[in-house]
Amino acid sequence: MTRRVAIVTGAGRGIGKGIARGLASQGIHVVINDIDEKLADQTSREIGEWTSTYVSDVSDYGAVSQMVADVVDRFGTIDIVVNNAGISPKKEGKKIPLHEMDAREWQQVMEVNLNGAFHLIRSAAPFMIQQQFGRIVNISSIAAKSYISVSGGHYAATKAGLIGLTKAAAGELAPYGITVNALAPGRIETEMMAEAGMGANQQILSQIASGKFGKPEDIAQAVEFLASEKASYITGAVLNIDGGWVMA
């Protein structure tokens, strides 16, 4: 059987790195995308042989479409894309309220978190349609569904936008054997989570029914399933992975 090929954006650290490791463990060739070359190289070295790196900024449509073209050129296919790259700007560990937010910061979060996902779907879907197979997973957030005091309004808006994008793409692409799903992580132990500071995270912990933060592997395992043949009848779904925090 030919090896499936995946692109995971923002895979240089955190959740994306966990997803890349999980997919590679399933025998999938993983293209580790990140804007940070050092992080991408480090991840590729750690995971090993069946990975390659591609440094590009997901907010740049030209760069993303070139990445997909290069991947198809090199490996002959693109089967799985995971829109994981995301930013959550804070000031001294605190979110900036909407009524004080710089409009450029709002725009930047839109460009990376939401436009970035459109760029990759727009670029990869035509190849997936040709081969009548594809798996697209968008990493949203619990912040799309409920007010989370540590997350900025721009971040919440993009994560809600990703859910709308997931459903629109799922409907359009279902006839071609392509599934599109979203995951809504709660509090997952990464550098992004650490930026909110211990105090805020401890307060949230008291609201999580399981009494634990999540780990990148918790997200990776769901991606592995959604990317597999076993999940071929699941599309347009949004799965919370939050240890029983929001339950909405």
Q: One of 54, 61, 147, 155 is an active-site residue; which one?
A: 155
Q: Is 152 helix (H, G, I), strand (E, B) or coil?
A: coil
14 binds ligand NAD (CB under 6 A): yes
CA distances from 129 to 8, 74, 133, 195 (A): 19, 19, 7, 40
How far, in Å, CA of 169 to CA of 180, rounded? 7
Q: Is residue 61 among the annotated active site residues?
A: no
Contact mark string toward ligand NAD, 96..135, x via CB under 6 A: ----------------x-----------------------
Contact mark string toward ligand NAD, 147..186, x via CB under 6 A: --------------------------------------x-
How far, in Å, CA of 103 to CA of 13, rounded? 28
Given CA atoms 122, 123, 129, 135 in this order, what sign does their dihedral have?
negative
Q: How far is the CB of 130 from ligand NAD (least distance, A)?
A: 26
Q: How far is the CB of 140 from ligand NAD (least distance, A)?
A: 7
CA distances from 125 to 52, 80, 129, 167, 176 (A): 21, 10, 6, 15, 10
Which residues contact ligand NAD by CB under 6 A?
9-10, 12-16, 33-36, 39, 57-59, 84-88, 112, 139, 141, 185, 187-188, 190-193
The residues annotated as belonging to the active site are 155
